[in-house]
Amino acid sequence: MMNSPTESHTMSVDRLRIPLPRTMDTVCLFGILFLGIAAQVRAEDLVVRRLPVAVQEQTRMLNADYLAAVPVVEKQGTKLPLLVFLHGAGGRGRDIERVKRIARPALAGMERFAGESSLFVAPQATEGTKESPASWLPDDLDRFLAHLKTTLPVDEDRIYVTGNSMGGYGTWVWAAHSPKQFAAAAPVVGGLGKGGPKDITPDLERWAENLATIPVWAFHGANDKVVPADRSERMIKLIQDKGGKSARLTIFPNEGHGASRKVYTSREFFEWLFAQNSAAGIEADKVPSNPQGREDANGTKKKEPQPAVSNGLAPEVTDLNAEDISYQLEHKLPYLAEPFIDVKPADMDDGILVGELGRDGGDRDQILHFVRELAGQARNDKSGNTDSLLISYRGRLLLEAYFRRGRINYPHYQMSITKSYTAMALGRAIQLGHLAMADLNKPAISFLQDVNPATLVEGADQITLHQAMHMSSGIRLNPDKTAQLRRSPGKLKGQSQIQAYLNNSEPIAAAPRAFKYQASDPAITMQVIESVVPGTAEDFIQKELWGRLGVDNYHWQPDISGLPKSAAGSSVRSRDMLKMAQLVLNQGKWNGEQLIPAEFVQRATSPICKAGRQSSYGYFWWTQDYEIAGRTYHCKQGRGAGGQFIFMFPAHDLIAIVTAHNKGMGVMLQALPKKLIPAFVTES
């Protein structure tokens, strides 16, 4: 159960976390609840249906195709509750397949927690026009629902509507327009009224009166920058002012616009929703007791034996705050009591496509054997302390595993992979026209207007971005001098950091120069980013790099200069590391949009110079070839001390993400490819 709500003005606002159970005994639930009535639907049971021509002609902004998951009814005359899901703006159009990915989390939550067989449908809003922007229109949806009532075994006293973002807005609108249609409504990160997302009515008072007649549970993220939480707060207050005793709001303190993942993985939400019945009246607005008894009254998961492979939800850090993310605080995370191993990862509606290990690729037994080795007792503190392993094949996440300090929502400290992210930030600047590819061969100081060239050592004015980004700047600093400079941090702010490097280096030799892995070279790159982009490098990275990938839960330490630290210092979730890897393999494209020039991505991840016996280096990305069973496999990599890795095998569209807390690099750099390749590549 959720914690008791706290009072804020006249509004019931729960700012505490929905508990996320880790396992689900669906076989037991099926046997107890559904046998002899109807078969339970599954996410893969979503099928495309089509509205009759007569209904199509009566609607303005609905695709004729819609999705439905309909259980097989074994008993004549059985009526089933219906959940209608309204997608967000990303689902607009006439390709119904786009809605499948978006709708699956809500359907999966219904499967797990509704407690009975139920109907699930998801319509699609079209893209609209400049004169009539895309939106959910209540009249369209009323006609759609009328069609469902005539074609599906709907219990008309138990019709529920929910939706996310634009779909949350649609939920507010539709339920306010036609409250008698619904037993309950649950808008997620939607809102009405001045400021957004739409000023769709001057008649909010009447709408609030309508919504006061049905149970409403709204959800929002406190950090939502797209639709601020006060949109939901205002609506709930209006409803309560109109006498709505069953209007409630949960605000997640550490979530942004992606708060739906908290909602659609909540047992309490679905138990509340499916307990509502319009025939019983609004007093039915309550959460039923838990018949399976897997949680206590506080929502605490009772101790049960964990399966070797989990069908539950990935472990999280409870009530995660931004200030909880740091290298030091990560060491305080307790080890997981049991490893979490998922061979069919959940669709989190985060832009990552998912599949199933074995069915969609990979030798399931081989991979699970390797994963269980990683989950075992570490041999020493230098290797074996793996925290997460994710495997993606042909664009789909097939395995997601967390051990020890690994959590799905905790950004793991990255060390030197931060350099790789810095390179991608510069690539984004090129894509947006703040730099050109030709600028890579210009002296770096030509972009740094605050650097005084008169005091630089010989040759420093010839260091190009290209050279700095593959660690061949030629800068050589005496360690004692470096320590002396750092004792006066006030003199290293802004471009004074680079001035100090170039004033105190040994003379810079003529190109070509030897590879030297050092912090000065990525620092030059970050300073150039700061100089050429609008605003600050920090804001640019947040908006134009991570923001474009849908990432808002990360941390990036400041350097002594005040800019984001470029040599090490970022903290990123394992799933978001996977997004970066997919961006690389897709040649700079994400969701069909070119975020980084393909030419830049290719150069950044190519072997520009040798960096050891087996490795080469590009623009802060590594490459290495592996000899396995007589064949050579090329691998592009991000590497970080402690055991943080992004492995990419472009020829096979195969990615592995690893985080760990080893002392040193550990053994994964050599061990993982030898385990991974034979499990996915079968070449004669």
What integer is the mean pLDDT of 79-84? 96
* pLDDT score recorded for residue 485: 85
CB 263 within 8 A of CB 252: no
* Average pLDDT for 539-566: 94
What rounded mean pLDDT belongs to the chain? 84
Task: State how far the Cα of 165 lies from the Cα of 226, in Å rounded to an integer.
Answer: 9
Q: How far, in Å, CA of 454 to CA of 477, rounded?
A: 19
Most confident of 114-123, 167-176, 528-537: 528-537
Give the residue-averaged pLDDT of 79-83.
95
Decide if pLDDT at 39 tops 80. no
Q: Give pLDDT, residue 278.
A: 85
Residue 313's pLDDT is what? Answer: 60
Residue 499 to residues 464, 472, 537: CA-CA distances in angstroms?
A: 15, 18, 19
pLDDT at 311 over 70: no
- Given pLDDT bands bounded at 50, 70 and 90, which one contains residue 44? low
pLDDT of res. 9: 30
Which secondary-structure segment (H or E) carries 622? strand 622-628
Confidence tier at 128 by pLDDT (50, 70, 90): low
The structure tokens 């109907």 sit at 119
pLDDT at 288: 38
The pLDDT of residue 306:
34
For residues 415 and 557, the answer to whether their CB atoms sit within 8 Å is no
**Torsional class of 101: left (φ above 0), alpha (ψ -120 to 50), beta (otherwise):** alpha
pLDDT for the residue 186: 97
Q: Contact 655/648 with Cβ under 8 angstroms? A: yes
- Which tops the pLDDT comparison, 585 or 198? 585
pLDDT of 223 reads: 87
- Dihedral sign of CA atoms 447, 453, 457, 461 in order: positive
Percent of the chain past pLDDT 90, that is, above it, reads 62
pLDDT digits (tens, 9 = 90+) for 209-226: 999 999 999 999 988 888
β strands within 360-498, DSSP E: 386-393, 396-402, 412-413
How do 593-594 and 119-122 pair as beta strands? unpaired
245 pLDDT more than 90: no
For residue 651, count other CB atoms closer than 10 A to its CB. Answer: 9
Burial class (CB in 10 A: 0-12, 13-18, 19+), 455: exposed
Give the mean model confidence (pLDDT) for residues 136-142: 93
Kindly report the three-state secondary structure assignment for every residue of 17-67.
Answer: CCCCCCCCCHHHHHHHHHCCCECCCCHHHCEEEECCHHHHHHCCCECCEEE
**Residue indicated by tokens 């004692």:** 480
| Residue 28 binned pLDDT confidence (cut-offs 50, 70, 90) | very low
Strands 65-69 and 47-50: antiparallel
> What is the three-state SS of 630-667?
CEEEEEEEEEECCCEEEEEEHHHCEEEEEEECCCCCCC
- Please tell me which residue, 84 or 18, carries the higher pLDDT value: 84
Give the pLDDT of residue 140.
Answer: 94
pLDDT at 327: 67
User: 526, 464 in Cβ contact below 8 A?
Assistant: no
Q: What is the pLDDT of residue 377?
A: 80
Instruction: State how beta strands 615-617 and 622-628 pair.
Output: antiparallel
Burial status of residue 324 (CB atoms within 10 A of its CB: 0-12, 13-18, 19 or more): middle
> What pLDDT is attached to residue 131?
55
Residues 680/673, Cβ–Cβ less than 8 Å: no
**pLDDT tens-digit map of 151-198:** 999 999 999 999 999 999 999 999 999 999 999 999 999 876 444 434
| Mean pLDDT value of segment 223-251 | 89
Kindly list the distances between the CA atom of residue 625 and the CA atoms of 226, 288, 461, 515, in Å, as whole numbers in the listed order: 44, 58, 35, 19
The answer to whether the predicted template modeling score (pTM) of the entire model surpasses 0.85 is no
Position 527 scores a pLDDT of 97
* Pick from 134, 109, 127, 117: nearest CA to 75: 117
Quick one: which of 49, 38, 116 has its CA closest to 83? 116
Tokens of 120: 């699930």
Average pLDDT over residues 426-454: 97
d(CA 674, CA 506): 42
Confidence class of residue 453 from pLDDT cuts 50, 70 and 90? very high
**In which band, very low, low, confident or very high, does the pLDDT at 332 lie, cut at 50, 70 and 90?**
confident
Question: In which order are the strands placed within the sheet that holds 570-572?
Answer: 412-413, 570-572, 555-556
Q: How confident is the model at residue 43 (pLDDT cuts 50, 70, 90)?
A: very low
Q: pLDDT (tens digit, 9 = 90+) per residue, 373-416? A: 999 887 776 778 999 999 999 999 999 999 999 999 899 998 99
Whether the Cβ atoms of residue 374 and residue 660 lie closer than 8 Å to each other: no
Higher pLDDT among residues 200 and 626, named by residue: 626
Percent of the chain with pLDDT over 70: 82
Do the beta carbons of residue 276 and residue 215 sit within 8 Å? Answer: yes
**Minimal CA–CA distance to 464: which of 405, 422, 524, 408?**
524
- Does pLDDT of 319 surpass 60? no
pLDDT score for 129: 61
